[in-house]
Amino acid sequence: MQPTRRDLLLASAGLGALSLGACHSDEPAERSIDAAQNPAPKGDPDGPWFRISLAQWSNHRTLGRDGASNLEWISSVRDKYDIEAVEFVNQFFFDRVGDWAYLAEMNQRAADAGVEMLLIMIDGQGSLAAEDAAAREDAILKHYKWIVAAAHLGCHSIRVNAAGSGDPAEMQKRAADSLVRLAEFGAPYGMNVIVENHGGWSSNGEWLAGVMRAADHPRVGTLPDFGNFRTGKDADGKDVWYDRYVGVKELMPYAKAVSAKSHAFGAEGEETNTDYSRMLKIVKDAGYRGHVGIEYEGGGHTEDEGILLTRDLLRRVRKDLA
């Protein structure tokens, strides 16, 4: 897919000053997607009930920030880990988002390696539930260029954060409004906008499910993460956790991707923080048939070891629950 003038404008450094209404006429008709259809990724009816992908954050200690390591990572994933799908993190090619030659090289690397590119996790682009209207508008605009880039990579989604401050109910409304605006922009590109439980109120499953109900858009969804349910600290400075199994169950009706967070493993290869059998049964019972992404964050193993331990655990539980 070649970039249009609209794409080039949106990816430019002057994004915040862009008049979006003047650019819509450049959108090719063949890129139109019926936003009324549910675009949730589906599994292969003849394959396993979920496929395994690798979240790039699993290698965050060794990946550089200049974009070169990102290209090498794409080429290595299948041979190194026997994994055929990847989930990017924007910080590993942050300054290359509007570099169409670079994105073309990403496409070529993935094609050569036989790797499917699923989504880009977006951080550092502002708060989509900010109290200040100008700050929220700026955050929305900054996400547009990532929608364009994700479309050129053939991804189905960008993952965003529902960060903000103030009254939780008002935050829900602001987050929902921002997500719908991004989804409407992304619809002609076939792009979903999905939210991860990623700290603060977003790590409260009930709150984030409420955002989904308020948004009520087929291209707005969730990326439930097995481990990101720390909602803050109590008066004594101790971490406060939302029940991870309750949270994932609340978020699964809206899921378009799933993150299998892992930190540590026991002698039998089980994850010591999350009961994967219990968690994946919740995922399966929700009717989900997309990818489940490995996201190893632990320190007790090398990144390679942690990725392979998580992969093998997912394979065992997938077989047990088939």
Q: For the chain, which residues score pLDDT lower than 70? A: 1-46
pLDDT at 4: 56
Q: Which residues pair with 239 in a beta bridge?
A: 233
What lies within 8 Å, CB to CB, of 244 at 6+ separation is 226, 227, 229, 274, 279
Q: Which CATH superfamily is domain 46-321 in?
A: Divalent-metal-dependent TIM barrel enzymes (3.20.20.150)
pLDDT at 36: 34
Measured distance CA(316)–CA(58) in Å, rounded? 20
Measured distance CA(37)–CA(162) in Å, rounded? 24
pTM reported for the whole predicted model: 0.88
DSSP assignment, residue 164?
B
Calculate the CA 215 to chain-centre distance: 18
Angle at 37 between CA 31 and CA 40, to 5 degrees: 95
Tens-digit pLDDT profile for residues 54-89? 999 999 999 987 788 999 999 999 999 999 999 999
pLDDT at 21: 29
What lies within 8 Å, CB to CB, of 190 at 6+ separation is 31, 33, 39, 151, 156
Measured distance CA(241)–CA(219) in Å, rounded? 29
